[in-house]
Amino acid sequence: MLLVRNGLLVLVAAVLLVAGAWTSWGSAQYAMGWSGREHGTVKVASCDDERCAGPFTPEGEGRSRDRVSLVKAASPGVGERVTVVLRPTGDRAVRTGPAGVLHAWVPFAGALLLAALVVAGGLRWRRTAWGMGLAGVALLVGAWVAL
């Protein structure tokens, strides 16, 4: 019975980590420059509750766009310029650079924190849990400081 319980808890922790990584990868692949999309800058012109938008100016070849949007949490504020890469849809942008990469991995940081609770409370692997928890906190603090 103990082996089954431990196996289930390891599975729960693994599912949390995979789900966090999967969610983060949706933006991180663009922020880290792994896909050859259009790079450029956006001058933030307006913000609503969730997204900020502005005109896109490409670096090198590419076409300018009158309006692209990016997540409000990753934008520096109205009137500021931010380096971005466009998603395949062309009207959504992802912030690049250290701040963009750290912001993209925030869901994985949350998954690390949740999995640390499962590992500490259920499996009683305290050192592993501390390592996971501290890694999650470091990632969250790094994203907060960079933004």
CA–chain centroid gap for 94, Å, is: 10
Separation CA 40–CA 63 (nearest Å): 10
Separation CA 77–CA 50 (nearest Å): 13
Q: How does residue 94 score in pLDDT terms, banded at 50, 70 and 90?
A: very high
Kindly tell me if the per-residue pLDDT of 129 is higher than 90: yes
pLDDT score for 120: 96
Tell me the mean pLDDT in the region 139-145.
Answer: 95
pLDDT score for 112: 98
Kindly tell me if the per-residue pLDDT of 109 is higher than 90: yes
DSSP state for residue 72 in the 8-state scheme? G
pTM, 2 dp: 0.88
Rounded to the nearest 10 degrees, the angle between the axes of helix 126-146 and helix 97-104 is 140
Per DSSP, the chain holds a count of helices (H) and strands (E) of 4, 6
pLDDT score for 34: 66
